[in-house]
Amino acid sequence: MGKRADIFSTDHLHANLGARSAHSGVVTALAQASKLVLTMATTAVLARILEPEDFGLFAMVGSVLVFVTMFQDAGLSMATVQRAKINHDQVSTLFWANVTAGTLMAGLILAISPLLAYIFDDHRVAPIAMGLAIPTFLSGVCAQHGALLQRQMRFLAEQSIVVTSQVVGAATAIIAALMGAGYWALVLKAISASVVVVFIRWWASGWTPGLPKRGSGAGEMARFGANLTAGRFFNEMSSHADNLLLGYFGGPAVLGLYSKAYGLLALPVREVNKPIGMIAVPALSRLQNNPERFRRFYLRGLEMVAFISMPIIVFATIGADKVILLMLGEKWSGSIEIFRALAPAAFVGTISVAGSWLLIPFGKGKKLFHLSVVSSFVTVLGFVIGLQWGALGVATALSVTTVILKVPGLAYACKGSPVSLFDIGSAILRTSTASCVAGLLIILVGGFIQIENLLILTGCHGVIYAISYLLLFLVLPGGAAVAKGALDFVRPFWRV
- Check whether 1 has a pLDDT greater than 50: no
Comparison of pLDDT for 388 and 285, the residue scoring more: 388
Q: Which residues of 306-333 are buried (b: 16+ CB within 10 A; e: fewer)?
A: bbbbbbbbbbbbbbbebbbbebbeeebe
Above 90 in pLDDT, residue 434?
A: yes
The reported pLDDT for the residue numbered 82 is 62
Question: How far are the Cα atoms of 106, 107, 115, 184, 248 from residue 111, in angstroms, in the given order?
Answer: 9, 6, 8, 20, 20
pLDDT at 285 over 80: no
233-249: pLDDT as tens digits: 666 666 777 887 888 88
- pLDDT band for position 486 (cuts 50, 70, 90): low
User: Does pLDDT of 284 surpass 90?
Assistant: no
Residue with the larger pLDDT of the pair 476 and 480: 476
Asked if 273 and 309 count as a contact pair (C-beta separation under 8 A), the reply is yes
Q: What is the pLDDT of residue 496?
A: 43
pLDDT of residue 432: 92
Q: How confident is the model at residue 78 (pLDDT cuts 50, 70, 90)?
A: low
Query: What pLDDT score was predicted for residue 2?
Result: 41
Q: Are 248 and 316 in contact (CB under 8 A)?
A: no
- Of 307 and 6, the structure prediction assigns the larger pLDDT to 307
Question: 385-421: per-residue pLDDT in tens?
Answer: 999 888 899 999 999 999 999 999 999 988 888 899 9
* Residue 366 reports pLDDT greater than 90: no
Mean pLDDT, rounded, of the chain: 81
13: which residues sit within 8 A by CB, 6+ positions away?
20, 152, 153, 286
Amino acid at 426: S
Q: How large is the average pLDDT for residues 127-155?
A: 84
Residue 489 scores a pLDDT above 50: no
Start-to-end CA distance of the chain, whole Å, equals 34
Q: pLDDT tens for residues 345-356?
A: 999 988 888 888
pLDDT at residue 66 greater than cutoff 80: no
Confidence at 3, pLDDT banded by 50, 70, 90: very low
Kindly report, residue by residue over 167-221, the tens digit of the pLDDT: 999 999 999 999 999 999 999 999 999 999 999 988 888 788 888 777 655 566 5
pLDDT value at position 327? 83
pLDDT > 50? residue 125? yes
User: With 70 as the cut, is the pLDDT of residue 115 above it?
Assistant: yes
pLDDT band at 477 (very low <50, low <70, confident <90, very high): confident
Q: Per residue in 4-27, pLDDT tens?
A: 446 665 555 555 555 555 555 566
Indicate the range of 225-229, 241-245, 337-341, 365-369 predicted with least confidence: 225-229
Least confident of 64-68, 108-112, 440-444, 473-477: 64-68
What's the rounded mean pLDDT across residues 448-453? 80
Q: How much is the pLDDT for 114?
A: 93
The percent of residues above 70 in pLDDT, for the chain, comes to 80
Give the C-alpha separation, 209 to 212, whole Å.
9
